[in-house]
Structure 1
Amino acid sequence: MPRTVPIFASERNAARLLDMKQAEFRALVEAGHLPRGREIAPGLIRWPVEDLRRIASGEAAEGMGDVSW
């Protein structure tokens, strides 16, 4: 049976994906260093997993498009 790949992550799982504690993740979101989750239904906040991947890889960094790594 194929493994299910998540499209969205809860705050807890988003923190896990970025290898940090939930409180650290929440603090970075509140400080504006990480994006806020999206409300996909009333009261249901989730983070797009692809956005978290882009953050982790550095692809989401603004103003860095002309940098050659």
Structure 2
Amino acid sequence: MGKLTPLAVGERNAAKLMDMTLPEFKSLVKCGSLPAPVQIAQGPQRWRVADLDAILNGEAMNSEQITW
């Protein structure tokens, strides 16, 4: 079996993926600059790796919110 790529990660790993400290990551999530986590059933909250990737690639940008 090949290497598995995570679909979702916890808060600490999400911060690591973004190369941020945990407080920086939490702050950006709180103010809405980064996506909120998803709740998995009644279990833990996780961040979709695809959502974080879309932020970094500019795919999640809302052009209506940009002021030139």
Structures share fold, TM-score greater than 0.5: yes
For 1:1-40, what aligned pairs fall within 5 Å after superposition?
1-40=1-40
Structure holding more helix per residue: 2
Q: Give structure 2 stretches of 5+ with no counterpart.
A: none
Runs of 4+ in 1 over 6 A off after TM superposition: none
Shift of 1:41: 2.5
Check conservation: 2:34, 2:52, Cα contact below 8 A: no
Deviations 1:16-57 (A, max 9, x none): 111101110001111111111000122410011011111111
Q: Give structure 1 stretches of 5+ with no counterpart.
A: 65-69
| TM superposition score normalised by structure 2 | 0.85
Q: Distance in 2 between matches of 1:24 and 1:41?
A: 27
Structure holding more strand per residue: 1
Structure 1 equivalent of residue 56 of structure 2: 56
Give, as a single letter, the amino acid of the residue that structure 2 aligns with 1:17: L
Identity score, percent:
45
The RMSD of aligned alpha carbons is: 1.3
Q: Distance in 2 between matches of 1:2 and 1:57?
A: 26
How many residues align? The count is 64
Q: Distance in 2 between matches of 1:46 and 1:17?
A: 13
